[in-house]
């Protein structure tokens, strides 16, 4: 009891405790990079250590801003949305002193990219669910990937990815993956129809894209029907898959290459073991060992 009273008496005033907490919160300015050329910046300024600013730069933001990206971002982050600094597309601001649900805030910050890129997919699929028929639209997801949305009479929206890869090995593996999507679709009853080919599909002829003039490995199209977007949960699942489709393919290409390398290394190790077992010792190298007869007996020549 006496120890408790002494601790209360010797405890620093609340104001000093708050000052100590602020002193412990160091100012930071961290920059991060993600897939698709997306960059982040996290800032806690030395003059205002109670505020954390999280910024994100999306190369294609100027193309998709008015097609669901900005609206989806503001709807998800609400009052925390702030004007981004120069060179960044969007930003959120949190007061660290009044922030109560920290885990929830972390989860929201973690999905900034998904909210922006997924916003444009939701925009067209919500239009499809409502039976509307907006204009055709395309945007450059990254320098080697273009996404096309082609609504058709309010009954379907064909989403096409024009893909390319820098490395030759990636191109070969990607072709196998794309064909697997088409083959797997045949065994699934209600999945969206999928098509893959080196030449542009018929839907792109409306854009004047009638042939592959190089610079594109191929075109994979997903025909999203009205029945696929009949509920918000279904729309959310489709958006989660297609908005991350390019990253999904790149991830599996890297995993495949790692698997190939591990198999090759294992094969080399096994071959070395076989070669080591096949080595024949030279009996003349060590005279003390002598020679063996056909029956297995050892004899040594007399000096």
Kindly tell me if the per-residue pLDDT of 284 is higher than 70: no
Convert the pLDDT of each residue in 68-105 to its tens digit: 999 999 999 999 999 999 999 999 999 988 888 889 99
For the segment 187-197, the average pLDDT, to the nearest whole number, is 82
Neighbouring CB atoms inside 10 A of 174's CB total: 22
Kindly tell me if the per-residue pLDDT of 116 is higher than 90: yes
For the segment 22-46, the average pLDDT, to the nearest whole number, is 86
Provide the pLDDT confidence category of residue 2 given band limits of 50, 70 and 90.
very low
CB 156 within 8 Å of CB 225: yes
Per-residue model confidence (pLDDT) at position 233 = 94
For the segment 229-238, the average pLDDT, to the nearest whole number, is 93
Q: What's the distance, Cα to Cα, between the start and end of the chain in Å?
A: 97
For the segment 228-253, the average pLDDT, to the nearest whole number, is 92
- The residues with which 298 forms a beta bridge, in sequence order, are 292
CB 156 within 8 Å of CB 223: yes
Residue linked to tokens 């998709």: 64
Domains of the chain: 133-257 (3.30.1460.20)
Per-residue model confidence (pLDDT) at position 215 = 80
Comparing 49-58, 121-130, 157-166, 205-214, the range with the smallest average pLDDT is 205-214
What one-character DSSP code corresponds to residue 261?
H
Q: CA of 140: how far to CAs of 1, 84, 180, in Å? A: 69, 22, 25
What is the C-alpha to C-alpha distance for residues 259 and 75, in angstroms, rounded to an integer? Answer: 42
Write a three-state SS string for 40-95.
EEEEEECCEEEEEEEEEECCCHHHHHHHHHHHHHHHHHHHHECCCCCCCCEEEEEE
Q: How many helices (H) and strands (E) does the chain have?
A: 9, 11
Per-residue model confidence (pLDDT) at position 9 = 46
Closest CA to 154 of 135, 176, 174, 181: 135
The pTM of the full predicted model, rounded to 2 decimals, is 0.79
Closest CA to 121 of 59, 67, 77, 174: 67
What is the C-alpha to C-alpha distance for residues 76 and 85, in angstroms, rounded to an integer? Answer: 20
More confident residue, 35 or 118: 118
Per-residue model confidence (pLDDT) at position 214 = 79
Kindly tell me if the per-residue pLDDT of 44 is higher than 50: yes
């Amino acid at each position: 009891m006496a120890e408790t009273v002494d601790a209360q008496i010797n405890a620093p005033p609340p104001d000093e405790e708050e000052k100590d907490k602020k002193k412990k919160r160091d100012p930071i300015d961290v920059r991060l990079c993600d897939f698709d050329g997306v960059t982040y910046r996290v800032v806690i300024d030395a003059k205002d250590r109670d505020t954390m600013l999280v910024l994100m730069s999306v190369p294609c933001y100027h193309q998709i801003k008015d097609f669901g990206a900005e609206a989806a971002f503001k709807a998800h982050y609400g009052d925390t949305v702030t004007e981004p600094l120069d060179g960044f597309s969007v930003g959120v601001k949190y007061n660290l002193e009044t922030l109560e649900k920290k885990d929830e805030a972390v989860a929201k910050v973690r999905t900034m990219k998904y909210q922006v890129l997924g916003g444009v997919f939701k925009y067209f699929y919500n239009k499809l669910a409502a039976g509307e028929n907006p204009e055709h639209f395309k945007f450059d997801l990254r320098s080697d990937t273009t996404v096309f949305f082609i609504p058709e009479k309010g009954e379907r929206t064909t989403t096409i990815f024009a893909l390319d890869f820098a490395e030759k090995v990636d191109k070969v593996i990607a072709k196998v993956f794309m064909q697997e999507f088409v083959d797997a679709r045949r065994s699934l009853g209600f999945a969206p129809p999928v098509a893959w080919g080196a030449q542009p599909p018929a839907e792109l002829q409306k854009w004047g894209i009638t042939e592959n003039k190089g610079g594109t490995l191929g075109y994979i199209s997903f025909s999203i029907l009205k029945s696929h977007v009949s509920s918000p949960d279904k729309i959310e699942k489709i958006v989660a898959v297609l908005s991350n489709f390019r990253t999904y393919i790149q991830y599996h290409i890297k995993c495949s290459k790692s698997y190939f390398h591990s198999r090759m290394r294992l094969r080399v190790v096994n071959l070395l073991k076989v070669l080591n077992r096949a080595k024949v010792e030279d009996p003349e190298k060590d005279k003390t060992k002598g020679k063996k007869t056909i029956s297995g007996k050892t004899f040594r020549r007399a000096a």
